[in-house]
Amino acid sequence: MKTLVWAEHDNAALKDATLATVTAAGKLGEVHLLVAGHDCDAVAQAAAKIAGVATVHVADDAAYEHPLPESVAPLVVELMASHDAFVVPATTTGRNLAPRVAALLDVMQISDILSVESANSFTRPIYAGNAIATVTTSDAKLVITVRGTAFDKAAAEGGSATIESVSAAAQGQDQASFVSSEIAASERPELTSAKIIVSGGRALQNGENFASIIEPLADRLGAGVGASRAAVDAGYVPNDYQVGQTGKIVAPELYIAIGISGAIQHLAGMKDSKVIVAINKDEDAPIFQVADIGLVGDLFNIVPELTEKL
């Protein structure tokens, strides 16, 4: 089987999510990467070095600078004439693009896979991760999005793929155009690839407390900062901090949940973390049912003390 993997990048560097997706695609067969972008030569060079990649297809065009699905989906459909599967990281870019491609190919997409059972059988979470379904497809071509935390990352070095340029007449610009983006600046590790995450909830009471209590601990540990939906909705932090069913899915080595009760929608985003630590004053909070280490008490006393003693 020839797989086509969507390389996620910002025209300057590859995103980590691509590496886990290459691993998943490698379980299906020969891995080809698609780098669609503008002035993205550095990305193509990096993509060619990923271990296990046979060919990198590069579509360099101003129309692909921001990968709008209206423009990119027709390009992918063209390439799918000579590939058997389109494998995409389940990032917001991937989730935006892949179903459009699937519809144009008249196949059912398999979303957010956790494992490859066979060439046409996969596991995926349903009901906010409260159940795992094994699904088998009868479609001739596969369109799959991959949960990055469920697969090891392919080695970023060691490959020597050939780079081929793809020329396609860009389409779709009349349907949609890019206006602007506001990317939150952060010095901290990216949430989905951080080894340690310190996450805060509603109990922080306001944004100032979040900054003065959660962030020093995160900085002490070199950790990413996450939040529950309650903390985001209350405006303590921007919404790209949100961990959960509707936010980011993370699986760090250590997840420290502070003032988070542990609603099922939040657990859906973090319960595959290797070690979970919970700090909460309510000893009956559901978070303690999944926490490896729990401490019952007032976060306003505990967290500064913890930061100091670490």
Among 225, 258, 270, 291, which residue sits at the site for other proteins (rule: CB under 8 A)?
A: 291
Contact window for other proteins (CB under 8 A) among 25-33, 47-55, 188-196, 204-212:
188-196
Q: Strand, coil or helix: what is 220?
A: helix
Q: Does 192 bind other proteins (CB under 8 A)?
A: yes
Q: Does 7 bind other proteins (CB under 8 A)?
A: no
Among 26, 37, 129, 269, which residue sits at the site for other proteins (rule: CB under 8 A)?
A: 129
| CA separation for the pair 83, 76 (Å, rounded) | 10
The amino acid occupying position 48 is: A
Q: Which residues between 109 and 128 bind other proteins (CB under 8 A)?
A: 109-112, 121, 125-128
| CA separation for the pair 268, 243 (Å, rounded) | 8
Pull the structure tokens for residue 248.
């980011």
Q: Does 103 bind other proteins (CB under 8 A)?
A: yes
Among 81, 152, 181, 284, which residue sits at the site for other proteins (rule: CB under 8 A)?
A: 181
Q: Which residues between 238 and 257 bind other proteins (CB under 8 A)?
A: 238-240, 245-246, 248, 254
Among 34, 56, 73, 243, which residue sits at the site for other proteins (rule: CB under 8 A)?
A: 73
To other proteins, the closest distance from the beta carbon of 84 in angstroms equals: 15
To other proteins, the closest distance from the beta carbon of 221 in angstroms equals: 5
Q: Does 226 bind other proteins (CB under 8 A)?
A: no
Among 51, 163, 166, 264, which residue sits at the site for other proteins (rule: CB under 8 A)?
A: 264
Residue 250 sits at φ, ψ, to 5 deg, of -125, 155
Q: Does 169 bind other proteins (CB under 8 A)?
A: no
Q: Does 102 bind other proteins (CB under 8 A)?
A: yes
Q: Give whichever of 40 and 299 is closer to other proteins, judged by the CB atom.
A: 299
* Alpha-carbon distances, residue 78 vs 73, 82, 139 (angstroms): 9, 8, 18
Q: Strand, coil or helix: what is 116?
A: strand
Max Cα distance, the chain (Å): 61
Length of the chain in terms of residues written: 310
| CA separation for the pair 32, 17 (Å, rounded) | 16
| CA separation for the pair 81, 13 (Å, rounded) | 28
